[in-house]
Chains A and B, each alone.
Chain A
């Protein structure tokens, strides 16, 4: 490899040298760049002589100096984000002055937008791309992860934080879910390197669906821009992994400036649970269970009755209060951007520390980044980006577990305390929640190295060659300890697991970019390239048990080693791609993309997939007939169609028939069939049609973007069930299809634009609607997964499937007159609907009882400023989705198991004394199975949330300068300040099984998100 790199560098250098020879008349160009409205100097604007390599960046006074510019007629171009690009013709003499005033441009039509393997002017982009400047989002809010930045900010993107577990994975869906099991997270590309995503933990068992994600290691503070490629035209150049959209992330770079720009920021805050569900107190608990058992099993020790369980009077423990705690969060970040001569640099570091609102949870991150650019010659630019992250996630068992502190705090009965007289944890039924939180723990430490080296060589004035090598190395150390005192390892004298995963991705990439203007009206641009990506994952883990005492927690002290594992897995991807774009008269653009990907995951005959796309753009506002008016400032229509692929989520060798080792007996090795062959296995493909329009009115003060799309996914990669009589339960196959149709709308309005010293009010609204339908399954076979989630043709993915209820029986007569439920069904039991009318309530009566997919999601941001004061309020909402509140299977089964405390709803249970009760009767053996999967536990999951509110104050420049600062701002921020919902559980934003779409929208003892209040500052030097 080194030999190859050396060759490339030598070749590039050889071509570069001769260009430095020719000599010409030279002159100097100086000037100042200012804001046209305010006259304020613009710092950091890019100034360049078009068609040459003469370029620089404005300094603190907005001034620039371009030395040694060839004399004569030249074109000066000034580019700065948020302003329209200025292009002026100048006559360069020995000393030329050119001052430029830039016009603010909220649509940023002339801004260069990062697209796959290159950049394009926004004006000419024909695909559906949403851009997000994250600085406004992350500088103020305690947003820990890059995927969270997208929440509620981008039309067509639905972000769900699955739980309140710090550092855990977040569900991001770009235009719905297009796959059943091949994965639906978008592809993240950081400075051109597809990032390692996903969960590589070696200790997954106890944490429900709340996986950790390698993506969490990316520090959102260092991001310059985020582009979300949504339609096929934009995304198809990423081919085989673009079905779920692509998130292109560009990190900040250095600037050429006299003095480096130093930024320091930090915040400190407290997170707290904002909601609690109402559980029974001791009195109610005793009533319910004694009623259920028909005899007084529980009673107070002073009531003069002998009970099986004598409860100390006054004992009434609120277990949720015992495990919840106020948890601090703090972040400190600093960065320096600068440059001199040929070198530009960006250096940043940050430290984040977040505790969980339940002991045992937390997330810490230390992050450093160095981005370097080196202009080696007029033609050759070299650069490197390196980010180092040290992460630590602390975890406790959660969700679907009987050993989780939070789960057990819901379940534990109120009539006992934490400790007995001897200081031992009291666990009459489930393990004591406080004990679990204090004694058992798990942590994952990661070291994440993300970097690339690249060189761009300007072969001809309009052709650039670029080569890069990218590395994403992720090392995760997992550690789990279960104490001998409490929890799952009591019987084994304590248990521990230590594991390591080394995940390495190497990406080699070479591209040729080309731009050709012919005449004044014909602009051609294109890119061709190839890349090779090699992924390896090496992992090992060891488990041991039986420790001398709870003091000893590492396996070196374990009496026996119970499990060990070491493994190497590898997969690779070879790709060729191209894009050709043609613009006529700056009004009509056509773009065509083609990518071919070969993956080692598929059989030899189906390795390569081809992913073409095409799009058209018509910028109507530049037509002559719209020029002489000033109402419509921009109007464009976009149309695209294309194909993308998906190969996530399947095994590396899913097409092969395999035997596995590890089927051991008597500690001698064994072999067993592991997988059926499917030599025909191939890519899952998504064809997407998109039509969209961009329109802006009145000097761009109101801008609207609207898109409609139809995504049709076919050859779904599904682990399809096969008759188990074969000895296998499933085979990975391309079966079935799915459709997502949707509409998305983005509105930006500058309601008041009064200049920096006046009242300003901007509003951003986005609204998305996506309708998902599974259109075909193998042999039309539906399947059920999770609790009540079902996948069936003609229905949305993972809709809720169960019994319908119709209140409760009030009398034996009602029981007798209804369809048969059970011999022992009695008044007070739930009446289930006989959907098929056969007179019997059985499996055949289950039906659609809800869907986890919302009708609409979106966000509304209002940003107001007046002089130094700014206020931003971000509302985020989801409407029309249901939640299966699975926790209620246990909390609302009144009397079923004394280990489970019941919901306070039990107070209104039916009984002969409370014949109008709305809740089912208390019963110990529940013959009617009142807690079965039914719409009793389906709830409206719609919500409106004040996700963020920020009140900030920027000190006047005079004060800041007196303190030696360029600027100074302080702010007060609240996250999850208010939530409006009818949902009776903790938090309507919930997925107990993490990001799995087939089991979406189920709550099962899932830790809720906290409310976070922070105070922070930003300082520039």
Chain B
């Protein structure tokens, strides 16, 4: 062939199956995290839709394929006299030839083998990031270490067996008692809800009163009525509400419990906004989400499923 024809568009006809295929793949990936049943359904959808898609796309090409005379073996006596005449007289054979069947089955079996080998490997690459990631409760020591209405910078190891790399920082303020007579603490996570930099308390740290407890916990009282982030200038007030800069919500907080007179940190949660202060604060509470993601308002629709809310 000469230099002709390669500039014409070769566009396959419209087909809905790519969408079904994508849904199947998405369902499969989601299922890998949530449950194997969902994954199996997703895989089935993907395989069926992929097959139908391929059938749609190759429709034109298949249409143009002229039926090829298959090899035929003439009977012995006619072969000796005049085989060509006999072959020409035969009725046309079906276009779906043996070689096309072998071609398709080789590709299909190859793809199946590839999928069987690849999927578990991909699963191992992705899944450990999402499974068994719950962190234990952290014991911050006796509540007497937390003077009323003052912030204390508490650092602790969220997973002591892994070591220093799991050290986290929380800003703990003892609010005294609520109106109902229950102990109240404001415990802010130091991670900025803009993009995760370490928020610093704006105020002098009392290094003299620094305490180190036996389980790697370190406490330093600080006179702080606001918190600032050094990376991009986020500013929060004493309740963790955004005052200035790029953060999209209030600072994350910890749940807490008091066991044998000791303050124990529970899970993190995200905060849309805090009204009021201290023990009487009204907190709009949401499941924890990644820094930079909205938890309330229209923007929260952009993050319908956050992994930490699915897998714990």
A-B interaction: no
List residues of A whose CB falls within 8 A of some B CB: none
Question: Which residue numbers of B lie inside 8 Å of A, CB to CB?
Answer: none
